[in-house]
Amino acid sequence: MSAVCPACGVAVVPGYAKCPKCHKPLPYGGGRRAATVAGGTVAEDRRFPFALVGVPLGAMIVLVLLFRTCAGNDDETPETAQPTAQPATDVGTTTPTTAVQPTAPVQTTQPIAPQAPNPSVAIAELDRVLRGRRFWSSIDVFAPRVDVRSASCDDPAMGPTIDSVAPTLRGAGLTRLRCLAQSGTVVFERDL
């Protein structure tokens, strides 16, 4: 059942407060008036209120960073600051007051024990060189041996590439290198 707009004569479905064409108010019978909503929709606006969450969250982050920065500056104390001497309250006493000098903390030096060589740096160097030559491979360490698994073990440039990194590997305590094919067969094994 539809009604007709008295202003323009367009058929209007019941439920509209205004005519969709001329935007004139439509008459309602029985003294009832529907609530008008901006935009003419009756659906509830369900957008997430980002501003209600974002503004307090941003303010909280700024405050935390500000307090962290201020707290970092409070930890630093000037080395030249000296405690001040308090004046004597008794007029009759003539004891001289002197400022107490703070003592520097005593640092003891203990000999550092030599550590075993770390092969991870040498392995990273070997991996970097192999990737630079596009010899894609995986490297496993079984001290004092290094296993390189690559499809390029048969390549003639693999030997000189390993020779370029051999001093670094020897310095890390690695003395043997095996090059394995992808299937796991040993292509060559050599001393570094």
Residue 148 placed within a domain: yes
Helix 119-132 with 158-171: angle, nearest 10 deg: 160
Residue 75 placed within a domain: no
- Write down how long the chain is: 192
Domains held by the chain: number: 2
How far is the C-alpha of 16 from the C-alpha of 26, rounded, in Å? 8
Domain that holds residue 143: 119-191
How far is the C-alpha of 158 from the C-alpha of 122, rounded, in Å? 17
pLDDT above 90 (res 148): yes
Residue 36 placed within a domain: yes
Residue 88 placed within a domain: no
* Mean of pLDDT over the chain: 78
Tell which residue, 131, 115, 132, 120, has the closest CA to residue 169.
120
How far is the C-alpha of 147 from the C-alpha of 130, rounded, in Å? 13
pLDDT band at 60; cut points 50, 70, 90: very high
How far is the C-alpha of 8 from the C-alpha of 10, rounded, in Å? 6
Q: Which residue has the tokens 């029985």?
A: 30
Q: How far is CA 16 from CA 10, 21, 23, 39, 45, in A?
A: 12, 11, 10, 11, 19
Residue 66 placed within a domain: no
- Per-residue pLDDT, 29: 43
Q: Which residue has the tokens 């005593």?
A: 106
Residue 50 placed within a domain: no
- Give the least confident one: 13-17, 129-133, 142-146: 13-17
- Per-residue pLDDT, 118: 75
The pTM assigned to this predicted structure is 0.40
Summarize the confidence of residues 107-123 as an average pLDDT: 69
Residue 55 placed within a domain: no
Residue 101 placed within a domain: no
- Per-residue pLDDT, 177: 92
pLDDT band at 50; cut points 50, 70, 90: confident
- Give the least confident one: 6-20, 40-54, 91-105: 91-105
